[in-house]
Chains A and B, each alone.
Chain A
Amino acid sequence: MSESTPPNPATATPPTDSADVAATTATAEARETSELRRRALRYVLTMGALMAGLYGIAYQSWSPNAFMGQRLIGYLETVAQLSGVVLRVLGEPVTVQNSVVSGTFSYVVVVDCAALDVQALFAAAVLAFPSRWTTRLIGLVAGLSAIFVINIMRLVALYYAGSRSLDLFKTLHEEVFVLVIVGLVCGLFLAWARWAAQATADAELAPTLSKAA
């Protein structure tokens, strides 16, 4: 195929031995692929290790009197209070006591309902991503806040589902929302990663550009 292709004037002297070029290209591609694979695997494994660490903290059965136990209970109560606020704004006659939301349908916000697993996933994915610390920090704050809000919306939707049909509630609670939230978190991460990669590239180029100017 290369014999029938006219030489490209934009390139330097065309290679004379096409077999050598093919071999060199193949070697370069193999090296590049190997490096890419190494980096990708390192990323996935680092993320997995970070996630395991965050799980270790979040899912420890803390004593209610311990510092972490009190923080966790406070967090669950905040989630319950805020979901109650949203429901009241939407005209639902709900009351909230500790982490129990009572109304047409009642639910308790327990550790499983706090979206701690997806928060750990997101935090691990962001922390393991090769970018600047400020970029990671922005991602963490924005992403974790978004997940918190998404989880409140999930609880509100579950309240409405539970008020209408227990079967619908179960399906949404056990399968659909778990998938949807993880999907949204993956989307959030991809959006952040795209921005972070661009921001990192811009930051690396900035000194060169300012020098050239």
Chain B
Amino acid sequence: MVQLTNTQRWWARLIAFAALVTVATWPWPGLRSGFSAAFCELISPVLAEMTFDGQTQVTMAPLNETRPSLAGAEEHIVADTALTLRLTKYRGQMQVEVSLRRDVFLPLVLFTAMLLVAPFAWPRRLIAIAAGCTLITLVGIGSIQLTLANIFSGRIPLAPQLSEVYVVSETWGDILQFLHERWLIPPGNRVIAPLLLGAFAWALHIDSWWPRKASVALHGVSPIR
């Protein structure tokens, strides 16, 4: 049995983390559309409820093939999912494309990989993974709702008809826009947020991995004294 030094153990964790992330984010055929389909199933009851007093009908479905999205002023992403927006008093529809791979799948993978390489006992690890993944999924759903709220309040200008649906106060509109600009626009958030969440979990279970000194200090009771 090879005994690893502390430094070697940290390097091994880092390599394992990189390997897990590489394997999970590899462009495997069907993975992108499969994840998109699963997430769309999950979010559809939420979207069905989000009708702004019966004025809108929003559905979300995976795209048959990925394509560059031009939704949003300066965002050019490879979209894998489309939000279809319909207004009850108008005919026609509008599509907003999003990348669930980037916005939800990648954060889930990063967080899970970070916890899988953590030196926690398995029950703790599984609880942390379940809690974190649930939180990331809920935030993913909330991000879609935030996008819709910004579109229907006119803070993301797509079409004049859409911007009249959700009438909000100036302050609430500013808050929605503020959240959109800080949460959804910075591309690094998809990586930074799950890593911070992972760091929070590591900090919470610091007793699992931080070297302790108390026992040493007590067992070797101060020969000087």
Contact = CB atoms under 8 A, between A and B. Distances in A.
A60 B181 contact: yes
Contact of A25 (B75, B204, B214): B214
Interface of A: 8, 10-12, 15, 21, 24-25, 28-29, 31-33, 36-37, 40-41, 43-44, 47-48, 51-52, 55-56, 59-61, 110-112, 115-118, 121, 170-171, 174-175, 178-179, 181-182, 186
A25 B187 contact: no
A118 B192 contact: yes
Interface stretch (B55-63, B139-147, B159-167, B205-213): B205-213
A40 B206 contact: yes
Interface string B116-144: 00000000000000000000000000000
Task: Give the secondary structure class of A's interface.
Answer: helix
Contact of A41 (B74, B187, B192, B200): B200
Given A36-B207, A36-B210, A61-B181, A117 B188 contact: yes
Interface stretch (B39-47, B89-97, B215-223): B215-223
Give the 7 A-B residue pairs with the shortest CB-CB distance, closest first: A117-B188, A40-B203, A28-B214, A117-B186, A33-B207, A182-B191, A29-B214
Contact of B189 (A24, A117, A181): A117
Given A36-B210, A41-B203, A11 B190 contact: no
Contacts of B199: 44
Nearest to A170: B78
Q: Which of B27, B199, B220 has the most CB of A within 10 A?
A: B199
A33 B203 CA distance: 11
Contacts of B210: 33, 36
B86 interface: no
Contact of B218 (A24, A48, A182): A24
Interface string B18-54: 0001000101000000000000000000000000000
A12 B225 contact: yes
Q: Which of A28, A36, A179 has the most CB of B within 10 A?
A: A179
25 contacts: A12-B225, A21-B219, A28-B214, A28-B215, A29-B215, A33-B210, A41-B200, A44-B196, A44-B199, A47-B196, A51-B196, A52-B182, A55-B186, A56-B182, A59-B186, A60-B181, A61-B181, A111-B74, A112-B75, A112-B186, A117-B186, A121-B192, A175-B25, A178-B187, A182-B188
B119 to A, nearest CB: 14
Given A40-B203, A61-B181, A178-B187, A32 B214 contact: yes
Interface of B: 21, 25, 27, 68, 74-75, 77-78, 99, 102, 106, 110, 177-178, 181-182, 185-192, 195-196, 199-200, 202-204, 206-207, 210, 212-215, 217-223, 225
B191 A55 contact: no
A11 B187 contact: no
B214 A48 contact: no
B182 A44 contact: no
Given A44-B200, A59-B186, A186 B195 contact: yes
B78 to A, nearest CB: 5
Given A37-B206, A56-B182, A112 B192 contact: no
A29 B196 CA distance: 26
A128 B215 CA distance: 29
Contacts of A182: 188, 191-192, 195
A118 B217 CA distance: 40
Given A117-B186, A121-B192, A174-B102, A32 B213 contact: yes
B191 A178 contact: yes
Nearest to B188: A117
A10 B200 CA distance: 41
Nearest to B192: A121
